[in-house]
Every structure is written in C-alpha cells, then in structure tokens.
C-alpha cells in the first residue's frame, strides 16, 4: 500500500536536485504533487517524470520568496485536488563568498529564497491543512547550521535559522496537528551544490573520505527520509532535525 495515497504535497525547488527527488518519491508513494520552481522548464520536466510513472503532478513556475506567488500556487493546487497534506521547503540560492565580498543583494536574495519562503508556505499550510487530519511540513536544513564553514556565512546563518524556525513552528503548529520537521542532508553532489563548489572533484573526494559510511549522499537518500517524515509512521515526530549524512556531522576526526 503506497504510504501517501490520496495525499497532496507541495514541494519548493522541485525542478532538480533533492527537491525533484522528493517530488518523485512522494508521487511514487501515491501523493499528488505541486512542483514549484522558479525554473519553468525543470518544473515541467519533473511533472513529466511523475506522469510517465502514472502519477499526478502540477507545475508552478513561481518565485517562492514572493508571498503572493506561494499563496496563489497553493490555492490553485488545493482548488483542483481538494486538500493539502505535505509541504516540503527545499528551494535555495547557494553562494560561497568571504564576508568581505558579499553584496547586499546577494544576502537579501539568499535570505528571501532560503528562509522567508518558509513563512509563506507555513501560512499556506495553516490556511489549507485540515484541522482534524493536520499535515506535515518538512524543511531542508544543513550541517552548516551547526558547523563553522569557511566562505559560507550567509548559507550557514540561513540554515541555522531554518533549524530554529523548524522547532518554533513545530510548537506553534502542534495544536493544529501540523508536524514540522527538517531533513539535514550531508554532502549530496547535486548540480546546484557542485556548481557552488566550482565542480571541485577533490573536495567531494575529501568529503567522501571523511564520511564514516564511506560514500556521499544521494538525492534518493534524502527523499526516502522525507517520505518517512511525511508518513503515518512518523505521526508522533515533530520538531526533529533528521540527519541523513553518513555520520559526517558528528565525526570528530581521528
Ligand atoms: N546538496 C547538498 O549537498 C545539500 C546539503 C545539505 C542541505 N542541502 C539543502 O537541500 C536543498 C536542495 O539542495 P540542492 O542541492 O538540491 O539544490 P539545487 O540548487 O540543485 O536545487 C535548488 C532548486 O531551487 C530552485 N529555486 C531557486 N530559487 C528559487 C525561487 N526563488 N523560487 C522557486 N524555486 C527556486 C532552483 O531553480 C533549483 O531547482 C537546499 O535547501 C539545500 O540547502 C543540500
């Protein structure tokens, strides 16, 4: 029995990478998926993949930092399918720069996409998630929330805020039966992450070697954890930050 049968999910940044894998995994478990991405072509490609596997999805070419865009997209999804059960906040703009060089518009954009958007999807969840059945919000944080990472101050600060927001939302939304958790992926060599790291193969090999389980993460590893958090098996789990990182975050080195 598919674990998310009859449910409706909205995934941001679902045109590629981890968000796309989440959208595909939710659909393969029976959910109808709203695929939101600023890139129309990739959003539609994700929908195409889902439909190829006999699933149902709709593409929303929106900028998730814009409250109106988010609320309108989720309104449309719910108008067509009648409910909202799962929101996965995954969209990001990555930049690695030393503080001395970071520009105001870069910081503003990163915060708007990586952090502010979660407020807008949370408002959409409050409007549309059933008061009896409740629902699930899954945020996407990073080990960078807790570790010191050079040239990554804006990203680390945003992910620290995402972890913090996950906990606060979980408390605020508990009485609405909306569970709020975060996945915390280790290194996953997606196109976006690789580009941020200048496609530096040596860096990825060094990270692999530091990872106790001896490999890097895959988008499917993260999507599987998101499906678990969305499922009834996780019905008493809220405010959790679930590391899917092969053990690398807590590895102190030898
Ligand atoms: N890849 C990793 O190693 C890694 C590790 C830890 C955490 N994460 C987190 O996982 C998530 C996804 O990472 P990824 O590597 O798949 O990234 P990615 O860059 O491959 O994908 C991000 C997606 O977000 C979309 N997007 C960007 N701005 C948008 C906007 N304004 N509105 C709508 N969509 C927008 C992009 O078009 C893209 O499809 C992020 O939250 C990231 O911080 C990734």
What pTM was estimated for this model as a whole? Answer: 0.98
The architecture CATH gives domain 8-188+219-243: 3-Layer(aba) Sandwich (3.40)
Instruction: Residue 161: count other Cβ atoms within 10 Å of its Cβ.
Output: 17
Ligand 1, atom 2, lies closest to the CA of 188
Report the alpha-carbon distance of residue 178 to residue 2 in Å, rounded: 21
Alpha helices in the chain (DSSP H): 17-28, 40-52, 67-81, 104-111, 117-128, 153-173, 191-196, 201-210, 219-230
Distance (Å) from CA 113 to ligand 1 centroid: 10
pLDDT in tens, the chain (254 residues): 899 999 999 999 999 999 999 999 999 999 999 999 999 999 999 999 999 999 999 999 999 999 999 999 999 999 999 999 999 999 999 999 999 999 999 999 999 999 999 999 999 999 999 999 999 999 999 999 999 988 999 999 999 999 999 999 999 999 999 999 999 999 999 999 999 889 999 999 999 999 999 999 999 999 999 999 999 999 999 999 999 999 999 997 76
CA-CA-CA-CA dihedral for 106, 109, 112, 113, to nearest 10: -110
155 is catalytic: yes
Answer whether 19 contacts ligand 1 (Cβ < 6 A): yes
Q: Which atom of ligand 1 is nearest to the CA of 112?
A: 31
Domain edges within the chain: 8-188+219-243
């Amino acid at each position: 029995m598919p674990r998310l049968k009859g449910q409706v999910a909205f995934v941001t940044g679902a045109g590629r990478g981890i968000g796309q894998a989440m959208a595909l995994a939710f659909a393969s478990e029976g959910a109808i998926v709203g695929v939101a991405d600023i890139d129309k072509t990739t959003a539609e490609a994700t929908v195409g993949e889902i439909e190829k596997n006999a699933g149902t999805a709709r593409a929303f070419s929106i900028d998730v930092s814009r409250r109106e865009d988010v609320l309108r997209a989720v309104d449309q999804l719910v108008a067509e399918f009648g409910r909202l059960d799962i929101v996965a906040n995954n969209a990001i703009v990555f930049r690695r720069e030393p503080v001395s060089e970071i520009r105001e518009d870069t910081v503003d954009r990163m915060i708007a996409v990586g952090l502010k958007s979660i407020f807008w999807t949370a408002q959409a969840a409050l409007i549309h998630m059933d008061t009896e059945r409740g629902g699930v919000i899954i945020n996407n944080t990073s080990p960078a929330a807790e570790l010191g990472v050079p040239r990554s101050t804006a990203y680390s600060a945003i992910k620290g805020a995402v972890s913090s927001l996950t906990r606060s939302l979980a408390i605020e939304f508990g009485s609405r039966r909306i569970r709020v958790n975060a996945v915390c992926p280790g290194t996953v060599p997606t196109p976006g992450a690789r580009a941020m790291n200048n496609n530096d193969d040596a860096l990825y090999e060094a990270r692999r070697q530091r990872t106790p389980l001896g490999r890097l993460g895959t988008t499917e590893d993260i999507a599987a954890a998101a499906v678990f958090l969305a499922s009834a098996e996780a019905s008493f789990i809220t405010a959790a930050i679930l590391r899917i990182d092969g053990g690398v975050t807590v590895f102190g080195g030898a």
